[in-house]
Structure 1
Amino acid sequence: MRRFGLIGYPLGHSFSRKYFTAKFQREGITDAVYELFELKNLEDFPALLAQYPDMVGLSVTIPHKQNIIQFLDEIDPVAARIGAVNTVKITNGKCTGFNTDYIGFRDSLKNFCPELTSVKALILGTGGASKAVQAALQELHIPFKLVSRNPKNEEVSYKDLTPEMIEAHKLIINTTPLGTFPNTETCPEIPYEYLTTTHYLHDLVYNPEETLFMKNGTEKGAKTKNGYEMLVLQAEAAWQIWNS
Structure 2
Amino acid sequence: MKLAGVIGSPIVHSKSSLIFNTIFSRLGMSAFYLSVELKPMELESFVRASADTFVGYNVTSPHKISIMKYLHSIVPEASEIGSVNLVKIDGGKPKGYNVDIAGIAAAFTNSSIDFNAKDILIAGSGGIFRTVAYYIFSNSVPASVYVMVRDRERARNDLVDYRFYSNINLVSRKDAGKRKYDVLINCTPLGTYPEIAGMPFPENLLSSASVGIDMVYNPPITEFLGAMSNNGAKIVTGRDLFIYQAMESMKILFGISVKKDEILGIMGEL
The alignment's TM-score, normalised by the length of structure 1, stands at: 0.86
How do residues 1-244 of structure 1 correspond to structure 2 at under 5 angstroms?
1-26=1-26, 28-40=27-39, 41-49=42-50, 52=53, 55-143=54-142, 144-151=145-152, 154-161=169-176, 165-166=179-180, 169-190=181-202, 191-192=204-205, 194-195=207-208, 199-243=210-254
| TM-aligned CA deviation for residue 51 of structure 1 | 5.6
Q: 1:99 to 1:193 in 2, by over 3 A?
A: closer
Greater shift after overlay, 8-17 or 132-141?
8-17
Partner AA of 2:107 in structure 1? S
CA distance in 1, matches of 2:134, 2:207: 27
Contact 2:173 2:201 in 1 (8 A): yes
| TM-aligned CA deviation for residue 201 of structure 1 | 0.6
Aligned residues: 236
Greater shift after overlay, 127-136 or 9-18?
9-18
Contact 2:111 2:236 in 1 (8 A): yes
5+ long unaligned stretches in structure 1: none
CA distance in 1, matches of 2:95, 2:44: 17
The alignment's TM-score, normalised by the length of structure 2, stands at: 0.78
Q: 1:121 to 1:103 in 2, by over 3 A?
A: farther
CA distance in 2, matches of 1:126, 1:138: 15
CA distance in 1, matches of 2:208, 2:5: 40
Q: Deviations over 1:199-228 (max 9, x none)?
A: 111111122222111122112100112212
Greater shift after overlay, 205-214 or 86-95?
205-214
| TM-aligned CA deviation for residue 77 of structure 1 | 1.6
> What percent identity do the matched residue pairs reach?
34
Contact 2:101 2:135 in 1 (8 A): yes
Give the superposed CA RMSD.
Answer: 2.3
